[in-house]
Amino acid sequence: MKSLLSYVMIMESNKPYIAMLFVQGVYAGMALFSKAAIAKGMNPYVFVVYRQAFATLALAPFAFFVERKTSAPLSYKLLCKIFLVSLCGITLSLNLYYFAMNYTSATFAAATTNTIPAITFIMAVFLRMESISIKQWHGVAKVLGSVVGVSGALVFAFVKGPPIKIMNWYPDIHKQNPDISYDNSKVEWVKGSLIMLSANTAWSLWLIMQVPIVKQYPAKLRLTTLQCFFSCIQSVLWAVAVERNVSSWKLGWDVHLFSVAYCGVIVTGITYWMQLWAVEKKGPVFTSMFTPLALIITAIISAFLWKETLHWGSVCGAILLVGGLYSVLWGKSKEGKSETNEQRSETKEETILESITHQ
């Protein structure tokens, strides 16, 4: 009985860790299943349409019932702002992301998500939403982390190096037309890498634009649902303009249907709630610390199941990516603690002054 109680207590205390491990596993699955669907011939723009449709349908009931008493009124001006934010962020970012999947790997897609904190920080500095204090260690850590993180993404994309041979399956793959396939794959890889980095830049811009929108409309679940709905409409127009073949829109009981349902319902729906819960329990820094796990999980599964080639240059780039990410997170954490201490000291000084005045 005691052992059972102790086991329950251990599980209860470790719930945030289990939740974040699950979330990163889901994100790894997103990169893997998305790549599988697109590799099987699904149009990337059509993929975004179906993903956003599934996400809207999954979130709408919760948004209606959970926040019906707390949601603020929606004005026409605010709706236009949400529409534009959805266009600049979600629609542009996702369409670029899935288009880049044609030319890159699932591992690279998972790796480049680690650049989002660094890119967001750089953009926030230029927009004067973030401050840099070079005189303090946390300011230096944020700047160096951003530079190292972006450099790691560039190394991962453009410096491959020799392949890491696992289970001797790579020699047979690279013997087929080595000269032609190498030149074509190199050009496509660079093209896909640049598009993928552009997608992450668009997502970073979307994160920054959320700050003023959330202040005007604090009902986060309804806001997310609205943005998914607007993004779905925008993506339909985009996909119809680019893809005129009706057969590209057909969904069967195959990897295409499973992938869009997985990305729409599981990724956008369940992980959204889990991350919010983890942030409330442990804070945003704790949640961000688990981000590199998606890269590790994706790389291992891709290497063993899909025989995706891993290169030493990619490994070095991934190490720089993760190092840069943790440097930025450490700097943000220390900055938050110093600001809290300053606020406490100011509060104490005000209390002392008030007591002296009353005496």
Q: Which of 2-16, 31-45, 151-165 has the lowest mean pLDDT?
A: 2-16
> What average pLDDT does range 17-44 have in this prediction?
86
Note the pLDDT tens digit of each residue in 78-99: 999 999 989 988 899 999 999 9
Domain boundaries, the chain: 23-331
Question: If pLDDT is split at 50, 70 and 90, which confidence band does 122 have?
Answer: confident
Identify which of 92, 89, 104, 110 has the alpha carbon closest to the alpha carbon of residue 38.
104
Q: Does the model's pTM come out above 0.85?
A: no
Q: What is the pLDDT of residue 5?
A: 58
Q: Residue by residue, what is the 3-state secondary structure of the chain? A: CHHHHHHHHHHHHCHHHHHHHHHHHHHHHHHHHHHHHHHCCCCHHHHHHHHHHHHHHHHHHHHHHHCCCCCCCCCHHHHHHHHHHHHHHHHHHHHHHHHHCCCCCHHHHHHHHHHHHHHHHHHHHHCCCCCCCCCCHHHHHHHHHHHHHHHHHHHHHHCCCCEECCCCCHHHHHCCCHHHHHHHHHHHHHHHHHHHHHHHHHHHHHHHHHHHHHHHCCCHHHHHHHHHHHHHHHHHHHHHHHCCCHHHHCCCCCHHHHHHHHHHHHHHHHHHHHHHHHHHHHCHHHHHCCCHHHHHHHHHHHHHHCCCCEEHHHHHHHHHHHHHHHHHHHHHHHHHHHHHHHHHHHHHHHHHHHHHHHC
Q: How far apart (Å, rounded) are the C-alpha atoms in residues 146 and 149?
A: 5
Q: Which of 19-33, 118-132, 156-170, 234-248 has the lowest mean pLDDT?
A: 156-170
Percent of the chain with pLDDT over 70: 75
pLDDT reading at 297 higher than 60: yes
Note the pLDDT tens digit of each residue in 155-201: 776 777 777 765 444 444 444 444 434 455 778 888 888 898 899 88
Q: What is the pLDDT of residue 282?
A: 67
Q: How far apart (Å, rounded) are the C-alpha atoms in residues 145 and 130?
A: 15
Identify which of 271, 255, 272 has the alpha carbon closest to the alpha carbon of residue 50.
255
Q: At what angle do helices 92-100 and 44-66 cross, to 10 degrees?
A: 140
Question: If pLDDT is split at 50, 70 and 90, which confidence band does 130 have?
Answer: low
Identify which of 82, 140, 158, 152 has the alpha carbon closest to the alpha carbon of residue 116.
152
Q: What is the pLDDT of residue 4?
A: 58
